[in-house]
Amino acid sequence: MAQASEHKEPLIHLSKRTGVAPLRAWLIRLAAVALGLIVCGLAAMLLIERLRDNPGRIGEFYYTFIKGSFSTSRKFWKFLKNLSILLCISLALTPSFRMRFWNTGAEGQTLVSVLGCIAVDFYLGGKIPEWLLLILMFIAALACGAVWALIPALCKARWNTNETLFTLMMNYVATFLVSYCLVIWVANGSSSLPKLKTGKLPTIGNDYLLIILIVLLLAVGLYIYLSYTKHGYEISVVGESVRTAQYVGISVKKVIVRTMLLNGALCGLAGYLIGAGLDQSVTVNSVGGQGFTAIMVAWLAKFNPLVMIITAGLIQLLNQGAAQISQDFNVSGAFPDVIVGIILFFIIGCEFFINYQVHFRSRAGQEGRSVK
């Protein structure tokens, strides 16, 4: 009788963890990165001829990784500079992601800001004092970024338009806007704007220190804004549950528009740092896909501005190390993308083992055993 009513327990059973010790979570992530690096080594043995013929040189492969960012002080400063720009865009995305507004348009928002700031430089450079020019460029960059983010935000707030797709499309509108302006501006038809002589952000110490300090300050400031202010709290509530927000009297539309304005303006800051701080020029590749990488950086850090410093550093370390490898081992310049992709797969996958618990069916058919 008892046997007949016994039902078969599934082999694997999942349950969501209520909480996980931070140390354990970080150990799991570290293990995932280590595993990813091993797979990268295997992939390299397949893709790089010199390693395929001579697998013993794999040690050199990993050594080159480190060399890419740390072997000379110039490389190290370049590492810090690229990290700062990537971090700045990631920070810009954080408020909207906390609100579960999936902004995939950081690339366009930043690019259009670079364009705005260079446009001011192009038309007014040399005609007004440099300090005034820099201020106007700053305002233009922030305004352009904010407008680019505001358009999807208004549609989301008013008609609930899908924000992921909308912001994604805005990226390409920005790209072609840049190529349009370049055709107009550059008379000889080459569409590449030579580096402008005006509108250069002053430097302290070396070329990059000011930019690095600005972004670090931004990270701390944003952390305080999101964790300790009323605005930050409202963002979290809207992100957790729109209905709860409505119930406690938060105007969801207002929060969406305000947060996206902030997001766009911060992308504008990143654009200003690129335009006025580094390039003094604009191309369709001024942002170079960092707007998309920033989405992953922000997500990896669980939208915590301070942790983002580490995750942006990790991604930049991989990028620069793999770039060094493609140089030293003579493979395509796209090799860093392969490495970053593989590592990301592993980190993305490991989040599952942090958030969920896996129970296997025990042989006795009683209490399920659990692993991890």
Partner 1 sequence: MNMWLNFLIDSLAFGATFMYGSTGEILTEKAGHLNLGIPGIMCMGGAGGCLVLNAIGKSGLPGFLIVILGVLGALALSMLCGLIYSFLTVTLRANQNVTGLALTTFGGGLMKVIMSKMDATVYLVGPKMLYRWPFAGRQDSLQCLGVLFFLAVIVALAASWVLFRTKVGLHLRAVGENPATADAVGINVTKYKYAATCIGSGIAGLGGFYYIIDYMASQEAYLSLEAFGWLSIALVIFALWRPHLTIIGSTVFGFLFSASSFITNISWIRVTMATKPILQMLPYVVTILVLVVTSVRNKRENQPPQSLGLPYFREER
Is position 225 an interface residue for partner 1 (rule: CB under 8 A)? no
Q: Are 292 and 154 in contact (CB under 8 A)?
A: no
Asked whether position 104 contacts partner 1 by CB under 8 A, the answer is: yes
244 makes contact with partner 1 (CB under 8 A)? no
Name which of residues 295 to 314 contact partner 1 (CB under 8 A).
295-296, 299
Least distance between partner 1 and beta carbon 309 (Å): 19
- What is the Cα–Cα distance from 126 to 92, expressed in whole angstroms? 31
Stretch that binds partner 1, among 76-84, 118-126, 267-275, 289-297 (CB under 8 A): 289-297
C-alpha dihedral (17, 247, 149, 211), degrees to nearest 10: -60
Please give the structure tokens belonging to residue 326: 């493609």
Identity of the residue, 292 or 360, whose beta carbon is nearer to partner 1 in the bound complex:
292
Among 5, 6, 8, 16, binds partner 1 (CB under 8 A): 16
Among 35, 45, 177, 310, binds partner 1 (CB under 8 A): 177
Residue 352 CB, shortest distance to partner 1, in Å, is: 4
Q: How many residues bind partner 1 (CB under 8 A)?
A: 51
Distance set, CA 129 to CA 140, 141, 167 (Å): 16, 18, 36
Residue among 54, 71, 72, 164 that touches partner 1 (CB under 8 A)? 164
168 near partner 1, rule: CB under 8 A: yes
Q: Is residue 241 involved in binding partner 1 (CB under 8 A)?
A: no
Binding to partner 1, residues 337-356 (CB under 8 A): 337-338, 340-342, 344-345, 348-349, 351-352, 355-356
Q: How far apart are CA 296 and CA 5, in angstroms?
A: 49
Is there binding between residue 176 and partner 1 (CB under 8 A)? yes
Residue 35 or 169 having the CB closest to partner 1: 169
Residue 19 phi, psi dihedral angles, 5° rounding: -155, 155
For residue 184, the minimal CB distance to partner 1 (Å) is: 6
Class of residue 200 by CB neighbours under 10 A (exposed 0-12, middle 13-18, buried 19+): middle
Is 208:225 a contact under the CB 8 Å cutoff? Answer: no
| Residue 109 to residue 113: CA distance in whole angstroms | 6
Q: Does 335 bind partner 1 (CB under 8 A)?
A: yes
Which alpha helices (H) appear in 275-372, and where do they start and end? 290-300, 305-328, 335-355
Phi-psi region of 277 (alpha: psi -120 to 50; beta: other; left: phi over 0): alpha
Integer-rounded Cα Rg, in Å, for the chain is 24
Whichever of 118 and 276 has its CB closer to partner 1, that residue is 118
**For binding to partner 1 (CB under 8 A), which residues are involved?**
14-16, 47, 102, 104, 155, 159-162, 164-166, 168-173, 176-177, 179-180, 183-184, 189, 292-293, 295-296, 299, 331-338, 340-342, 344-345, 348-349, 351-352, 355-356
